[in-house]
A and B are shown apart, each in its own frame.
Chain A
Amino acid sequence: MADTYLDLVNSGLGKQVASKLGLPEPTKLRRYRAGSDFPEGSVLVLGKGQAADAAAQAMLDWNLDVRRHAQEVDRVGAVVIDYTDAKTPSDLGKAALELSSVLRKLRSGGRVITLSRPAAGIGTGAASGTPADTAAQEPAVAAARQGVVGLLRSAAQEMRGGTTANGILIADGVAADAPSVVGALRFFLSGRSAFVDGQFLTVTDERGESTENWDQPVAGKVAVVTGAARGIGAQIARTLAQAGARVIVVDVPAAGEALTKLANELHISALQLDVTDPKAGEKILNLASERYGKLDLLVHNAGITRDKMLANMDQAKWDSVIAVNIESQLRITQAVLDSDKLGEHPRIVCLASTSGVAGNRGQTNYAASKAGVIGAVAATASLIAEKGGTINAVAPGFIESEMTAKIPAARRQISRRLNSLQQGGLPEDVAQTITFLLSDAAGGINGQTLRVCGQNLVGA
């Protein structure tokens, strides 16, 4: 599971050799630690719109060194660019070149974040529900807005030293200072988003709450994590517990030994349950309400792989993957939607996969199930919004876990370099992204799928 190459190129001699030979030089990513959430150096805000002002104000409130002119900065931790008022493609150049002028001053672990509006006609998730205003329908406006996507994704690929570039898309009709715009800005600045790169996250509505408690964004919430005995699921439970949630961990009875260890380590409750049990949703809701009075947060993490080339696929391999990875989610989510045991803002995060976005050789069954997750999340958004809640998905790319440790060594080495950060992510990176999406600061983000893949080169 250890990435020895990453350690090697971050040692003195290894670094020189890799540099001379032109080998990949991945940097150890700046990850979230309580009390050190932000990049080092000044934060430069480019652009003159309301979004720029709102972002600058929020970052001043977080005691960051906020600057509005490229000339006045020396050591730069982050650059935030407001493109929300872009009307034509020629509006993009000024800020892009200002960004260019400070790139060499960007510290490692830095951040580039764009704020813009989604282009009309290009899917931003079915949840939006806000009719795009007439100006947004103009081809030039759409070209400018979609231009931001190309600019940002290319810039992300050029960043070095663990710096990432991501964009916040603010749906038309949503205010530039909406709580989840601020929440998403905080997330992208934070080490919590370390392995999220080259992605856009859409703020679909003005719901959500601003918070002071960024260290414990889910404090007091009752959370259930399925497939939690090991790997990414166990880390999600750990991270949610650290972030203040009261967690119940769920896994199949056969995984009970590992589940027990985790539950006792975190001082939480274990539930041995197969998510394909027709009564799984009812059992989860009953335990959450019995133990803690309600259910607030649910993470559909349970998943399996049964990889085979399509030519060698059989019924059992196909059906089991569909049953565990998507059918169980649909059934349990429906039970949640029908339940009277929910907290005020029920939130669900589903585990999708980059395989579900871009497809993957040997994974027709898995990719079908994970693409299904993305579809289900988009379609469930309006249903759960009626209950005051949200549903979103995260799509992990190559994550260093027990699952990817089974990939043959040579292929694993290649797979983990095939992204802009030239390394695999950690279960923690997925867990932190999920924690953000479960927080009330993300209450205006609904029906979205966010990739945690280091800008994996496939399926961009």
Chain B
Amino acid sequence: MNNRLPLRARVAIYGLICLLAIPFVFPTWWMVTSSFKPVSDIFAFPPSLIPTELSFSAYRRVFELQPFAQQYLNSAYIAAVVTVGTLAVSSLAGYAFARIRFRGQHALFLVVLVGLLIPSEVTIVPLFQMFNSVGMIDTHWPLILVPTLGAPSVLATFIMRQFFITLPGELEEAARVDGLGRLATFWRIALPLARPALGAVAIFTFLHSWNLYLEPIVFLSTPEKFTLPQALTQFVDAYGGPMWDVQLSAASMTALPVLVVFVIAQRQFIEGLAHTGLKG
């Protein structure tokens, strides 16, 4: 295949790809390098791609100005709980809708699918009121319960169902011969086979929770309870202007761990997402 394209075409394609890659790579690079620059160098022109002297003062100030370690922990534990919870809820429901026959199945599946049509932004006012009436405002409960059980998990259930449908029908037969009940069949046979789909759902769910912004700013008001996206916008000076160096340091700390995991496992990430459930 390689030699089908003439050399000039290949050079042209590489050139175009490199040019297009700039806005994808440059911002992250700029964010990380600038976070180590002294404030005076951040807006320097021409911009230096590598900091000439390393300055960690902005990183220190991140932790002085906000309870950033606590906020980091908040985001991490909420995302972890939501991911595990969504995997449990969606794989159980997805398995039942795909492989168990029970009365009311079609109607119930349609009810669940309605969740795909309702972005959570639409219901933010009543959700606020509901959690307010049970005293859960300024707690993490809304950020855990709604994604795990509400609209976002419906997409996960749908993806799991699409996956379980493709498993061969001998699955149940083999399980029955072995005398397994439904739960054991699900846990010991179906779930291990569903690892790629579970991986894709886990990645989606984690990123969704990690990026949540509207919900935290609506539900939370105490800095100790903030999540990272919310915390990142709090580094402003007395006039409300952003403290760029501190913001960039906090942003780097937020972005880098996920980015590193992605680069290490990029094949599983990308191919899992491309080949599971969402493929039309």
Do A and B associate with each other?
A: no
B interface vs A, CB < 8 Å?
none
